[in-house]
A and B are shown apart, each in its own frame.
Chain A
Amino acid sequence: MIKSNTFKFLLPIIVLFGAIVLWYVISYLNLFPAYAFPSPGAVFNSFQEELLAGRLINDIIASLWRVAIGFVVAAVLGIPIGLWMGQSLLARQAFVPMLNFFRFLSPLAWIPFAILWFHIGDKPAVFLIFMATFFPLVLATMVAVASIPSIYFRVAQDYNYKGIELLTKVTFPAVLPQVITALRVSYGIAWVVIVAAEMVGCQDGLGYGIWEARNGLRLDSAVCYMIVIGLLGMGIDRLLSQLTKLSGVRWGYER
Chain B
Amino acid sequence: MKDKHSVSRLVVEKVSHNYGSVSVLNNLNLSVIQGEVVVLVGPSGCGKTTILNLLSGHIEPISGSIQREGIIRTVYQHDGLFPWLTVSENISMGLRSVNDAAQREHELRELLELIHMEDFADHYPHQLSGGMRQRTELARVLAGDSDILLMDEPFSALDYQARLRMRRELVRLLEKRPRTVVFVTHDIEEAAQLADRVLVLSKRPATICRELHIKAQRPRGLTDPAVIEAMTEILKELGLNTPD
In the bound assembly, the distance between CA atoms of A251 and B58 in angstroms comes to 27
> In the complex, are the beta carbons of B124 and A158 less than 8 A apart?
no
> In the complex, are the beta carbons of A176 and B80 less than 8 A apart?
no
In the bound assembly, the distance between CA atoms of A176 and B73 in angstroms comes to 26
Given the contacts A254-B126, A255-B126, A151 and B76 also touching, CB distance less than 8 Å: yes
Residues of B within 8 A of A155 (CB): 74, 76, 80, 82, 93
Quick one: closest A residue to B81, CB to CB?
A155
Report if A163 contacts B (CB, 8 A): no
Report if B47 contacts A (CB, 8 A): no
Q: Which A163-179 residues have C-beta < 8 A from chain B? A: 170, 173-174, 176
From B74, B80, B93, B124, give the contact of A251 (CB < 8 A). Answer: B124
Total A-B residue pairs with C-beta atoms closer than 8 Å? 47
Given the contacts A159-B94, A159-B96, A152 and B126 also touching, CB distance less than 8 Å: no
In the bound assembly, the distance between CA atoms of A252 and B124 in angstroms comes to 11
> In the complex, are the beta carbons of B84 and A158 less than 8 A apart?
no
A33-41, A107-115, A242-250: which lies at the interface: A242-250
Given the contacts A152-B82, A155-B82, A251 and B72 also touching, CB distance less than 8 Å: no
Quick one: closest B residue to A254, CB to CB?
B126
Q: Which B81-103 residues have C-beta < 8 A from chain A? A: 82-85, 93-94, 96-97
Question: Interface size class for chain A?
Answer: 20 to 34
Interface size on B (CB < 8 Å)?
A: 19
> In the complex, are the beta carbons of B84 and A151 less than 8 A apart?
no
Task: Pick the most buried of B93, B96, B125: most chain A CB atoms within 10 A of its CB.
Answer: B93
- How far is the CB of A180 from the nearest CB of chain B, in Å? 12
Q: Which B118-146 residues have C-beta < 8 A from chain A? A: 124-126
> In the complex, are the beta carbons of B82 and A250 less than 8 A apart?
no
> In the complex, are the beta carbons of A251 and B73 less than 8 A apart?
no
Report if B79 contacts A (CB, 8 A): yes
In the bound assembly, the distance between CA atoms of A36 and B96 in angstroms comes to 69
Residues of A within 8 A of B94 (CB): 159
Residues of B within 8 A of A250 (CB): 124, 126
> In the complex, are the beta carbons of A170 and B82 less than 8 A apart?
yes
> In the complex, are the beta carbons of A173 and B84 less than 8 A apart?
yes
Residues of B within 8 A of A154 (CB): 56, 58, 74, 76
From A149, A159, A248, give the contact of B93 (CB < 8 A). Answer: A159
Q: Which B49-87 residues have C-beta < 8 A from chain A? A: 56, 58, 72-74, 76, 79-80, 82-85
- How far is the CB of B130 from the nearest CB of chain A, in Å? 13
In the bound assembly, the distance between CA atoms of A152 and B74 in angstroms comes to 12
In the bound assembly, the distance between CA atoms of A152 and B82 in angstroms comes to 7
Residues of A within 8 A of B73 (CB): 158-159
Residues of A within 8 A of B56 (CB): 154, 158
A-B contacts, 17 listed (Cβ < 8 Å): A151-B79, A151-B80, A155-B74, A155-B76, A155-B82, A157-B58, A158-B56, A158-B72, A173-B85, A176-B84, A247-B124, A248-B85, A251-B83, A251-B84, A251-B124, A252-B83, A255-B83
Besides A159-B96, A173-B82, A173-B84, 10 other A-B contacts (C-beta < 8 A): A151-B76, A155-B80, A158-B74, A160-B97, A174-B82, A247-B124, A248-B84, A249-B84, A254-B126, A255-B126
